[in-house]
Amino acid sequence: MTSTRTAPRRQAAGHLFIAPFMIVFVAMLVVPLAYAGYLSLFREQLIGGTTFVGLDNYVRALTDERLLGGVLRVAEFFLLQVPLMLLLGLLFALALDSGMLWLSRFIRLGIFVPYAVPSVVAALMWGYLYGPEFGPIAQLAGTLGLPAPDLLGGDLMLGSLANIVTWEFAGYNMIILYAALRAVPAELYEAAAVDGAGAWRTAWSVKLPALRPALLMALIFSVIGSFQLFNEPQLMQRLAPSVIDSAYTPNLYAYSLAFTSQDLNYAAAVSFLLGLVIVAVSYTVQLALTRRRT
């Protein structure tokens, strides 16, 4: 009898605890999303007003070469940048965890600090370093008698952006992986030691498998981050306006459509499609990695 009396009360308490989150979640995410979805079904013109156009905006987006170009570019960026960044993060985490570094706290902080720098500031700073004539990199090349690399030119821009993003986020991923490493039970190491495993063997056979869930999470975050690339290219646009156009990344394109072209409806459709692409890629990544484990 007691159980029937306490069950509803416990339920009410649960709802109460989750309410603040749900309110913010609905107000800040669900409602805007639904509204954006609603908007994407209309077309508003400076002359002629608003008309219902059904899925026209989506049809237009699917055949929009500028959008497609942007999606392919961020996919290329993802393939180029993410493996490098995760590998660096992993190496840093393993090195710190090995306990063989002097000043490890200091080093950990040093690697993490770029993540504390706002990406806007980071992009401005790197933009200065990349400067084709008076930037330090170009000056160094000049001193050595080498031609200055055109880091802001069309060929190298994607690599230059990848460098900034790697610099910003390698430390962040290192912290995630390092935390996962600290959570590995000591018995496993003891067992490995008893079996005669050295440091490398322990890293390969004990630490890496233990890191798999953390790596997967870092990878999924990176998928989302890559496809949403915005701050860095937007700031570099000022330095290299002829290389980075308004459709350089899909996010930048959606922003330009909304705020430059005054086409909120089409921007909403583009944003929705981008969201779908991100969900699809994230899911594929997750599926591929978890299947391999089993």
Partner 1 sequence: MTMTRTRWLAAAAAATLFLAGCSGGGGARQAADQPPAAAVSQADIDQAMRTPTELTFWTWVPDIGKEVALFEKKYPAIKVNVVNAGQGEPQYTKLRTALKAGSGAPDVVQIEFQYIPTFTIIDSLLDLRPYGAEALKDKFVDWTWGQVTGKNGEVWAIPQDTGPMGMLYRKDIFDKHGIEPPRTWDEFAAAARKLHAADPGVYLTNLASNQNGAWMGLLWQAGGKPFQMASAQDIDVSVNDEVSKKLGTYWGGLVKEGVIATDPDFTDQWYQALNKGKYATWLTAAWGPVFLASNAKETSGKWRAAPLPQWAAGENKSGNWGGSTSAVIKSTKNPIAAAKFAEFLNTDPESTKMMATEQFLFPPTKALLDDPSFAEQKPEFYGGQTVNQVFAGISDTVDKGFGWPPFLDQTVSDWDETVGKSLADKSDTPAALDQWQQRITTYAESQGFKVAQ
Q: Which residues bind partner 1 (CB under 8 A)?
A: 28-29, 31-33, 35-36, 39, 44-50, 81-82, 85, 118-119, 127-128, 131-135, 165, 168-169, 172-173, 218, 221-222, 224-226, 228-229, 238-242, 245-246, 256, 258-262, 264, 268
Q: How far apart are CA 27 and CA 223, in angstroms?
A: 26
Q: How far apart are CA 147 and CA 160, in angstroms?
A: 17
In terms of CB distance, is 97 or 266 closer to partner 1?
Answer: 266
In terms of CB distance, is 94 or 240 closer to partner 1?
Answer: 240
**DSSP characters over 88-108:** HHHHHHHHHHTT--TTHHHHH
In terms of CB distance, is 104 or 245 closer to partner 1?
Answer: 245
In terms of CB distance, is 36 or 184 closer to partner 1?
Answer: 36
Q: What are the Cα distances from residue 119, in Å, to 50, 114, 161, 229, 259?
A: 37, 9, 11, 11, 21
CB 159, min distance to partner 1, A: 15
In terms of CB distance, is 20 or 48 closer to partner 1?
Answer: 48
Do 288 and 59 touch, CB atoms closer than 8 A? no
Do 258 and 267 touch, CB atoms closer than 8 A? yes
Gyration radius from the chain CA atoms: 24
CB 181, min distance to partner 1, A: 18
CB 246, min distance to partner 1, A: 6
What SS3 class is residue 50?
strand
In terms of CB distance, is 7 or 117 closer to partner 1?
Answer: 117
In terms of CB distance, is 161 or 181 closer to partner 1?
Answer: 161
CB 260, min distance to partner 1, A: 5
Q: What are the Cα distances from residue 124, in Å, to 30, 85, 156, 241?
A: 34, 21, 17, 15
CB 294, min distance to partner 1, A: 26
CB 73, min distance to partner 1, A: 15
DSSP state of 147: P
DSSP state of 185: -
What SS3 class is residue 264?
helix
End-to-end CA distance of the chain, in Å? 44
CB 271, min distance to partner 1, A: 9
